[in-house]
Structure 1
C-alpha cells in the first residue's frame, strides 16, 4: 500500500475503537440523548442514522445475502463503536480549537485527491474506509478533516498522534466537556478517551445469586 494511504489508514485506526455489546437502563437525566458532550447533544436518532449509513453502505458493497449477514454478525458492536467515535471526534475537535488549530476545506480536498490518485482510485478509498473502519463514503471528508486536525494538533504539541502529550490534550478536553453517556452505552473515561462498560451492581448481584443457586 502506498505510504500516504497507509499513514492515513493508521491514523484512522487510532481514532476508531471497537466495543462489545451490553444493554442497560435508559438515561433519565438526558432523555432521548445517546451522549452529551459539552453543549453538544448526540441524540439516539442521530446515532441510529449513523449506524444506518454504515449498514446501507455495507449492503451496497456486499450484494450477497450470506456475506452481508456475516458482515453484520462480525460488527455486532457497531452502535457502540460509532457512538465512541462520535464522542471522540467532538473531543478532538474541541482540543484542536483550544489550541487554535484549524483545517480548511482546501486542505481536505487536497488529501482526498492524493488518496484517490492511488491505485484503485475512489472505489478503493471508499472500500478501505468502510471495510476497515466502518466509515461510509459520505463521511470520508469529515473523517479526513478530523485526521488533519489530529496531525496539526500533534505537530503543535511537538509530538505525533501516538504521543502522550497528544492524548493528554484530548483527556483535558474530555474533562472540560464533561462527557456524559446514556447508561445503556456505558460511561466515558476521560483518561482513556474512550467508552467503557458501565459497572452495574444489579448485574453483579444477579450473577452472585445464580452462582449460589447452582452451588
Structure 2
C-alpha cells in the first residue's frame, strides 16, 4: 500500500468534530471511513483506485474486460483498507511482528510459484485488483494473517478475535460505500479474505 494511503489525522483532532453524521447519514466531505477515531480520506482511497485503473489500462487487449469486471472498485478497495487496519491492530495486540527479511522471503516464494514478477503482478491485477505497487502490501497482509492463524491455533479463533477488534475500533463507513458489518469484518457483502487459506497444492490466488 502506498504511504499516501496511510490513516491520517490525530484522534484528538478528530474528537473535536464528528466526521460521520448519524443523524443525516451523510459523511463530512473528504472522509471515506473512520477507524479507531482516525479517518481514511477519500483522496487516499481514490489513489488506490486510480493506481489499479492505470494498471488495467496498461493491460492491452485485456484492459476493457478488467475494467468492466470491477465496477465497485472503490468499495472493494475501502473494504481492504479497513480489513488491513483491523488485522494490523489484532496482530499488534497479539504481539505479532514481521521483519523486512520475512516479507522479502515470502515475496521470493510467491515469485517462484508465479514464475516471475511479471506473472505475479498480472495475476494480482486480474484476480485481486491489485496494482503492481500494491502487491507488497498484499503479501504483508497474507503473511500477517497466517501468523495470526497460527497464534490463535485456528482460522476460526483468529477470525473471532478479529471480529472483537473490529468492534472495538468502532468503524464507521461513509454511506456512499455501504454499511460496515463488524461481525463479517467487511462492508456489506464483500468477501472476508482471511477465512480462505491455502489448503491444497499450488499457490493461492493473489489477494486470497
Q: Normalising TM by the smaller chain, what interval?
A: 0.7 to 0.9
Which 5+ residue runs of structure 2 have no aligned equivalent? 1-23, 190-208
Aligned to 1:181: 173
Q: Which runs of 4+ in 1 moved over 3 A?
A: none
CA distance in 2, matches of 1:40, 1:113: 34
Q: What TM-score, normalized by structure 1, do the two folds share? A: 0.73
> TM-score, length-normalised on structure 2?
0.75
- Does the Cα contact within 8 Å between 1:171 and 1:190 map onto a contact in 2? yes
Structure 1 residue aligned with 2:132: 137
Distance in 2, matches of 1:171 and 1:119, equals 32
> How far apart are residue 139 of structure 1 and its match?
1.2
Matched, 1:157 2:152: yes
Change (3 A) 1:119 1:175: closer
**Bigger CA radius of gyration:** 1
For 2:143 and 2:181, the matched residues in 1 are separated by 24
- The alignment's C-alpha RMSD in Å is 1.7
Structure 2 equivalent of residue 47 of structure 1: 45
Q: 2:118 aligns with which of 108, 112, 123?
A: 123
Q: Could you list the per-position Cα deviations for residues 141-183 of structure 1 after superposition, in whole angstroms to 9, with x for gaps in the alignment?
A: 1111111111111101011xxx321111110110110000001
Q: 1:68 aligns with which of 59, 63, 74?
A: 63
Shift of 1:116: 1.8
Residue 98 of structure 1 corresponds to 93
Superposed CA offset, 1:11-51 (max 9, x none): xxxxxxxxxxxxxx8734x4311011113311011111100
Which runs of 5 or more residues in structure 1 are unaligned? 1-24, 198-215
SS at match of 2:166: helix
Deviations 1:110-158 (A, max 9, x none): 1111222335211111111111001111111111111111111110101
Kept after mapping to 2: 8 A contact 1:32/1:44: yes
Return the structure number with greater relative CO, CA threshold 8 A, min gap 6: 1
